[in-house]
Amino acid sequence: MKMITKVYRKLVQTLFLLLAKKRCIAVGMDVCVNRYCEFTANTIIGNNCHFNGMRCNGEGKIVIGDNFHSGRDCILITSDHNYDYGNKIPYDHTSITADIIIDENVWIGDRVIILKGVHIGEGAIIQAGSVVVKDIPSLSIAGGVPAKEFKMRDSNHYYHLKEERQYF
Protein backbone atom coordinates (compact mmCIF):
# COMPACT_ATOMS: atom_id res chain seq x y z
CA MET A 1 0.00 0.00 0.00
CA LYS A 2 2.86 2.39 0.85
CA MET A 3 4.46 1.75 -2.56
CA ILE A 4 1.18 2.50 -4.37
CA THR A 5 0.86 5.79 -2.44
CA LYS A 6 4.42 6.79 -3.41
CA VAL A 7 3.83 5.97 -7.08
CA TYR A 8 0.51 7.86 -7.05
CA ARG A 9 2.12 10.90 -5.40
CA LYS A 10 4.93 10.92 -7.98
CA LEU A 11 2.42 10.70 -10.85
CA VAL A 12 0.41 13.61 -9.43
CA GLN A 13 3.57 15.71 -8.95
CA THR A 14 4.63 14.98 -12.53
CA LEU A 15 1.20 15.99 -13.89
CA PHE A 16 1.17 19.23 -11.85
CA LEU A 17 4.71 20.07 -13.02
CA LEU A 18 3.77 19.48 -16.67
CA LEU A 19 0.79 21.83 -16.25
CA ALA A 20 3.09 24.48 -14.74
CA LYS A 21 5.60 24.12 -17.59
CA LYS A 22 2.83 24.43 -20.15
CA ARG A 23 1.42 27.60 -18.62
CA CYS A 24 4.49 29.57 -17.40
CA ILE A 25 7.03 31.59 -19.39
CA ALA A 26 9.84 29.57 -17.79
CA VAL A 27 10.23 26.87 -15.14
CA GLY A 28 13.65 26.06 -13.70
CA MET A 29 15.24 22.74 -12.82
CA ASP A 30 14.22 20.56 -9.86
CA VAL A 31 10.83 22.21 -9.37
CA CYS A 32 8.35 20.22 -7.27
CA VAL A 33 4.60 20.91 -7.50
CA ASN A 34 3.01 18.82 -4.75
CA ARG A 35 -0.54 20.17 -5.07
CA TYR A 36 -2.56 21.71 -7.85
CA CYS A 37 -1.38 25.23 -8.76
CA GLU A 38 -2.73 27.81 -11.18
CA PHE A 39 0.03 29.91 -12.74
CA THR A 40 -0.45 32.75 -15.20
CA ALA A 41 1.18 32.95 -18.62
CA ASN A 42 3.36 35.74 -17.12
CA THR A 43 4.98 33.56 -14.45
CA ILE A 44 8.70 32.74 -14.23
CA ILE A 45 9.80 30.07 -11.73
CA GLY A 46 13.42 29.56 -10.64
CA ASN A 47 15.30 26.37 -9.76
CA ASN A 48 14.57 24.08 -6.81
CA CYS A 49 11.18 25.59 -6.01
CA HIS A 50 8.49 23.74 -4.04
CA PHE A 51 4.79 24.51 -4.36
CA ASN A 52 2.04 23.11 -2.16
CA GLY A 53 -0.98 24.73 -3.77
CA MET A 54 -0.92 28.22 -5.21
CA ARG A 55 -3.23 30.39 -7.31
CA CYS A 56 -1.82 33.24 -9.38
CA ASN A 57 -4.23 35.83 -10.77
CA GLY A 58 -3.91 38.94 -12.91
CA GLU A 59 -2.04 40.22 -15.93
CA GLY A 60 1.20 41.30 -14.23
CA LYS A 61 4.45 39.36 -14.25
CA ILE A 62 5.25 37.03 -11.35
CA VAL A 63 8.93 36.17 -10.85
CA ILE A 64 9.79 33.53 -8.27
CA GLY A 65 13.47 33.06 -7.43
CA ASP A 66 15.46 29.89 -6.77
CA ASN A 67 14.85 27.74 -3.67
CA PHE A 68 11.35 29.10 -3.06
CA HIS A 69 8.99 27.18 -0.78
CA SER A 70 5.28 27.75 -0.32
CA GLY A 71 2.71 26.45 2.10
CA ARG A 72 -0.78 25.43 1.04
CA ASP A 73 -3.47 27.62 -0.50
CA CYS A 74 -1.35 30.70 -1.30
CA ILE A 75 -2.66 33.43 -3.61
CA LEU A 76 -0.67 35.94 -5.70
CA ILE A 77 -2.72 38.75 -7.27
CA THR A 78 -1.14 41.12 -9.82
CA SER A 79 -4.25 43.03 -10.94
CA ASP A 80 -7.04 45.00 -9.23
CA HIS A 81 -10.26 46.47 -10.53
CA ASN A 82 -10.00 50.13 -11.50
CA TYR A 83 -12.08 51.68 -8.73
CA ASP A 84 -10.41 55.11 -8.53
CA TYR A 85 -10.32 56.53 -12.04
CA GLY A 86 -12.69 54.27 -13.93
CA ASN A 87 -15.88 55.41 -15.61
CA LYS A 88 -18.26 53.30 -13.50
CA ILE A 89 -19.00 52.68 -9.81
CA PRO A 90 -17.85 50.62 -7.93
CA TYR A 91 -15.30 49.83 -10.70
CA ASP A 92 -15.11 49.58 -14.47
CA HIS A 93 -13.85 46.99 -16.95
CA THR A 94 -10.20 48.14 -16.80
CA SER A 95 -7.63 46.99 -14.30
CA ILE A 96 -4.63 48.27 -12.40
CA THR A 97 -1.67 45.90 -12.78
CA ALA A 98 1.76 45.62 -11.15
CA ASP A 99 4.33 42.79 -11.00
CA ILE A 100 5.17 40.58 -8.01
CA ILE A 101 8.85 39.77 -7.51
CA ILE A 102 9.97 37.11 -5.02
CA ASP A 103 13.74 36.80 -4.61
CA GLU A 104 15.67 33.59 -3.96
CA ASN A 105 15.39 31.48 -0.78
CA VAL A 106 11.98 32.81 0.25
CA TRP A 107 9.54 30.73 2.28
CA ILE A 108 5.88 31.65 2.53
CA GLY A 109 3.52 29.83 4.88
CA ASP A 110 0.03 28.46 4.37
CA ARG A 111 -2.70 30.75 3.04
CA VAL A 112 -0.48 33.76 2.40
CA ILE A 113 -1.89 36.38 0.03
CA ILE A 114 0.55 38.61 -1.89
CA LEU A 115 -0.89 41.65 -3.68
CA LYS A 116 0.26 43.51 -6.78
CA GLY A 117 3.47 45.53 -6.80
CA VAL A 118 5.13 43.64 -3.93
CA HIS A 119 8.83 42.72 -3.86
CA ILE A 120 9.84 40.11 -1.27
CA GLY A 121 13.59 40.24 -0.60
CA GLU A 122 16.08 37.40 -0.51
CA GLY A 123 15.77 34.94 2.37
CA ALA A 124 12.54 36.42 3.72
CA ILE A 125 9.98 34.30 5.56
CA ILE A 126 6.28 35.17 5.50
CA GLN A 127 4.15 33.84 8.35
CA ALA A 128 1.07 31.73 7.56
CA GLY A 129 -2.16 33.65 7.02
CA SER A 130 -0.43 36.93 6.19
CA VAL A 131 -1.53 39.47 3.61
CA VAL A 132 1.50 41.11 1.99
CA VAL A 133 0.61 44.57 0.65
CA LYS A 134 4.06 46.22 0.58
CA ASP A 135 7.70 45.24 0.05
CA ILE A 136 9.37 42.93 2.57
CA PRO A 137 13.14 43.47 3.01
CA SER A 138 15.71 40.70 2.59
CA LEU A 139 16.20 38.35 5.56
CA SER A 140 13.02 39.64 7.23
CA ILE A 141 10.50 37.50 9.02
CA ALA A 142 7.12 39.12 8.50
CA GLY A 143 3.53 38.34 9.30
CA GLY A 144 0.08 39.66 9.99
CA VAL A 145 -2.63 41.58 8.17
CA PRO A 146 -1.10 43.60 6.68
CA ALA A 147 2.24 41.78 6.91
CA LYS A 148 4.94 43.63 8.84
CA GLU A 149 8.51 42.73 9.63
CA PHE A 150 8.80 41.57 13.24
CA LYS A 151 12.21 39.90 13.24
CA MET A 152 15.37 39.55 11.14
CA ARG A 153 17.13 36.31 10.28
CA ASP A 154 20.71 35.89 11.49
CA SER A 155 22.58 37.17 8.42
CA ASN A 156 25.90 35.48 9.30
CA HIS A 157 24.20 32.10 9.59
CA TYR A 158 22.12 32.66 6.43
CA TYR A 159 25.09 33.68 4.26
CA HIS A 160 27.22 30.83 5.65
CA LEU A 161 24.53 28.29 4.62
CA LYS A 162 24.18 30.00 1.25
CA GLU A 163 27.96 29.88 0.66
CA GLU A 164 27.91 26.17 1.54
CA ARG A 165 24.95 25.70 -0.86
CA GLN A 166 22.83 24.10 1.85
CA TYR A 167 19.38 24.20 0.24
CA PHE A 168 16.36 22.07 1.11
Query: Active-site positions?
Result: 81
Helices marked H in 58-154: none
Residues 145/131, Cβ–Cβ less than 8 Å: yes
Sheet containing 74-77, strands listed edge to edge, beginning at the edge strand earlier in sequence: 37-38, 54-57, 74-77, 113-114, 131-132
Q: Is the dihedral of CA 108, 116, 61, 54 positive or negative?
A: positive
Question: 2 exposed, middle or buried (CB, 10 Å; 0-12, 13-18, 19+)?
Answer: exposed
Measuring CA to CA, which residue among 118, 104, 116, 15 is closest to residue 68? 104
Q: Which residues contact 80 (CB under 8 A, 6 or more apart)?
A: 95, 96, 97, 115, 116
